[in-house]
Structure formats: C-alpha cells, structure tokens
Amino acid sequence: MLNININYPYPVIREYTDDYQSTEFIGELKVLLEPDGYAVHTNFEINNKGIQILLSKRILTYALEVQCVSTWFRKLYPIHENSVIRLDPQMIHERVELIPCIVAATSIEGFTNEDFAEEYQDMKFDLNAGDIIGIGQKRTFDALYQNDIIKNGSSIVDVGGNDKLKEIQCDFSQSTIKLTLPADQYENYRSCGYNRSKYKMLNAILIVPALVEAIGIIAADEKDPEHQSGHQNRAWYKTIVVNLKRFAENDERKYLQLLEKPFASAELLLGNNSADALKFLCQVE
C-alpha cells in the first residue's frame, strides 16, 4: 500500500519532498459514473526528461492504486497512454482512494537522475520491479449502491404543508430533506410551483436556504470528524457530496473549498436555476 509519509531508501518523487530539485508529477483524474460501473480517466505528466525516457521504454510505468477500506479492495493498475480504468461497482463501496504513481516495471540496476537533490547527486540505486518511483496527489470518491443516492428525476427536497405550523420547518433526519410550510404558505407555494417564471423566486426563498444548511452540516462533519452529525448515510447527504465532488473533479481541496462557499455551491447544485435542476432538487407535490 502506498504511503506518501514514509521514508524510502532511495529518492521518491512526491508532492512535498526534497528528494528531487524541480521534478513535478501531475496525476489528473476524473471519475465518471457509467451504466456498468465507474470509469476513471487519467491524465499523467512529468517534467523530468530522465523519467520520461524510462517511461517511453516501459522500464517505468505510470500506475493508479485503487483502495477501498469498506470492501478491502486494493489493486494497482498500470497506465499506458492515459488509459481509462474501469471499476466494477460490486467490488467497491463508500469511500474509494485513488493514488497516481510511477513504479518500476522491471528491475533497474544503477538508477540515477540528474534532478536528484544535492545529497543524492551521483548516487545510484538498484530497484526491483514494483518499487515506487513517484507518488501523486491522492483523490477520493464515494462509490454508492443504486439505492444510496437520489437519481435525476427524483426529489432531494420534499416540500409539504401543515395546518398546525406557524413557521417553516426543515428536517434533515430522513432520506430526503423535508421542508414543511404553514398551510397558507404551502398553498401559495403550490400555485407558484407550476409557473416556470417563478422557479428562481422559489429557489431563493425556500430551496437555497435548505441546501445552504445541508452543505453547512456536511462542512461541519468534514472539519470535525470526531463530532459527526449522524446524517452521513442519508440519501440527500450522499447526493450532495457526490455532486459537489464531481463539480470539484474529485479534487479534495476543491471539494472542501466548495463546502466553504455554501451559497455558491447551492446555486451550483441547482444548475443555475434550470427547470431540470429544480425538478431534481425539489418536486412540487
């Protein structure tokens, strides 16, 4: 299993390391959900000529390590010409880790590189097939069963009415977010809901605040893993997380940045107030 924090007996290219002077390994990943599973699209680059030559000769190879703690699945996939890796949804569930890397495809005697840090200059290392040469930035995504996530055409926010209520209530304890309005407001909501010209108003008044609060719950969970909300297994929670991570292209830092901007992220989830997005996020009963 790859570990970016351990010390190797030879120089390793990493995001934060002093083993090389100026070498950068970029391992871009994009995960797409397809009918038969997950497709991981790769785009790997490195700016080190010596490493590039060894890659072209297949002495080294780009690779992707896939790990899933929930199912104990772990596999290293060689990557040639930025190939697409397809993952069987029956083999993975919940959080999946993707780690781009460069590994030795064969044994190498006297491995050296002009960009080694000063302390390694002119040193040579004997490597075995499978030894790690470089480790890229880790990405994660959530692999979900069919009934884990609310699909397009279904509602992530259910709006209803109650004669006894005097103010709006928002309940996050069920699979969908339950927004309950006082009876008179609900009737007004119903009458507006069938008029497309009023979708933007409905979003601003009702749906955006509910999504902002939901994103706030998720953000709090990410910031403090020891004090969780208990909503992680709700379908609305997983749906928001999956969609925000897709918008962030499964870049963990970009995903966390989206959580820090709940209003903008709520608008993003609504698809700029499009009719299809409103249908997905909030159905008028």
Pick the more confident residue, 80 or 34: 80
Q: What is the mean pLDDT of residues 100-120?
A: 95
Does residue 284 surpass a pLDDT of 60?
A: no
Q: What is the mean pLDDT of residues 100-112?
A: 96
Q: What is the mean pLDDT of residues 213-224?
A: 94
Whether the CB-CB separation of 208 and 230 falls below 8 Å is answered with: no
Please tell me what DSSP assigns to residue 13: B
Pick the more confident residue, 88 or 101: 101
Per the listing, tokens 């939901």 go with 214
Whether the CB-CB separation of 86 and 37 falls below 8 Å is answered with: yes
Whether the CB-CB separation of 173 and 161 falls below 8 Å is answered with: no
Whether the CB-CB separation of 213 and 232 falls below 8 Å is answered with: no
Q: What is the mean pLDDT of the chain?
A: 84
How far apart are alpha carbons 230 and 15 in whole angstroms?
Answer: 34
Q: Per-residue pLDDT tens for 149-192?
A: 565 545 788 888 888 888 889 999 998 899 898 888 888 777 77
Q: Per-residue pLDDT tens for 190-204?
A: 777 556 666 667 667
Q: At what angle do helices 252-259 and 208-223 cross, to 10 degrees?
A: 130
Q: What is the mean pLDDT of residues 198-214?
A: 79
Instruction: Specify the pTM.
Output: 0.60
Residue 99 β-bridge partners:
65
Residue 135 β-bridge partners:
101
pLDDT value of position 3: 65
Q: Cα dist. 43→17, 64, 80, 256 in Å?
A: 22, 11, 10, 22
Does residue 277 surpass a pLDDT of 50?
A: no
The amino acid occupying position 261 is K
Burial (CB < 10 A; 0-12, 13-18, 19+), residue 285, is exposed
pLDDT value of position 203: 65
Q: At what angle do helices 262-269 and 235-247 cross, to 10 degrees?
A: 90
pLDDT value of position 52: 97
How far apart are alpha carbons 156 and 99 in whole angstroms?
Answer: 32
Reading phi first (left if > 0) and then psi (alpha if -120 to 50, else beta), residue 249 is in left
How far apart are alpha carbons 186 and 195 in whole angstroms?
Answer: 15
Window from 8-12, 23-27, 145-149, 227-231 with minimum mean pLDDT: 145-149
pLDDT value of position 148: 61
Q: What is the mean pLDDT of residues 10-20?
A: 89
